[in-house]
Structure 1
Amino acid sequence: MPELDLDQPSFDLLDASGRARLQASVDLCVHAAGSTLIAAGQASPHVFLNLKGLVHACAADVDGVDQRFADYGPGDVFGACAVMAGRARLHDRSARDTMYFLIPADVFRALIADNPRFAANRGLCGARRARPDVPRDLHFAHIAGSPGVPVLDRHTALDATTTAALCWLALRGASGCRAVALRPTQRAL
């Protein structure tokens, strides 16, 4: 059975006891193509670390047709936002057979509570964007220090990955994209 690589980004921020707890709690799981891993509107009992395969994060449009929001490939973590929020905004479905580690939600929440550096990491809700013009390795840390990036942090209703993608597109001057700074009392639409 493969072992969880605790030296990869996000998990490398855990202290020694957090690493031991995580390693002791993970399970290995396989799902066939077409399986729903996390249902929109539902709580997720796990955070997933994709080892092999491809998972699409989708939302149904007004006509009930799935619109792809993001892709999770090998090395991507998904379900963290659903665990922390108590429900998923999107549904995650395997595009092909997938193998991944399952991190129990209660263990993940405890790791967040006990490890401030791990909790502050912006890569935990990361995904590869379905938009081809957004880099595959986009993380908030890549653009946070760039000149002209407005403060769109914990005071928005957007998740970190969406915020990073919007800021990146705004910096590139993508058609119709502009970033807007929000005060703590405002909520994004």
Structure 2
Amino acid sequence: MTIYRDVLSAVVRCLAAECIDNTSKQAWQKLYQAGDLPAKGGSALSAREMLDMDCLVHARLHSQLPPRLWHALVAKYSSHQARKVEAIGCLVSLVESAAPQLFRYKAATAWAFPQLKGTDGKRSTDMIVLSASFYDMNTWDPEARPEQTRRRWRAGIRKALESLVDEALIAAQEILQAEGVLAEQAA
């Protein structure tokens, strides 16, 4: 039985599974389940079965993906604050760049926590929201190198991180297709 329409929905759901609570929900929240394949009249699985499947996918991907690829997915898609921060720390040492350590750390953090629009980017109290000043590249390099150099470094770091995410999604897709939980049309 296929459970997820594509690898990205499976990854996002399984990473969100650790943050799901068991509190009562509004009626519309019980009906909406992003990322699953709906059967006629609703989901093919109950909400509890879907959560169990998300946890199984989480465990499978965590155990079978190389740590660098797992950290890339967690940094990009997880909603668990501590795990996301830990993953960023692991990725910083993997990114090859002429940029100093502080710059690489801040660039990776800004990539993992993109700046939100609105008043100070605030959307939810359970999200990490970085101050607007954090995204100012002038604070990333104490030696005040030229802006062109900093932009080149930032672009290179983002490209390296996105490349890791792409590689991780391809590897995750292979794992999930072997498990038979992805829709056939997933590419």
Both structures adopt the same fold (TM-score exceeding 0.5)? no
TM range (shorter): under 0.3
Q: Tell me the TM-score normalized by structure 2.
A: 0.27
**TM-score normalized by structure 1?**
0.26
| Structure with the bigger percentage of helix | 2
Q: Which has the larger radius of gyration?
A: 2
The answer to which structure, 1 or 2, has the higher relative contact order (CA under 8 A, 6+ apart) is 2
Question: Which has more strand, going by share of residues?
Answer: 1
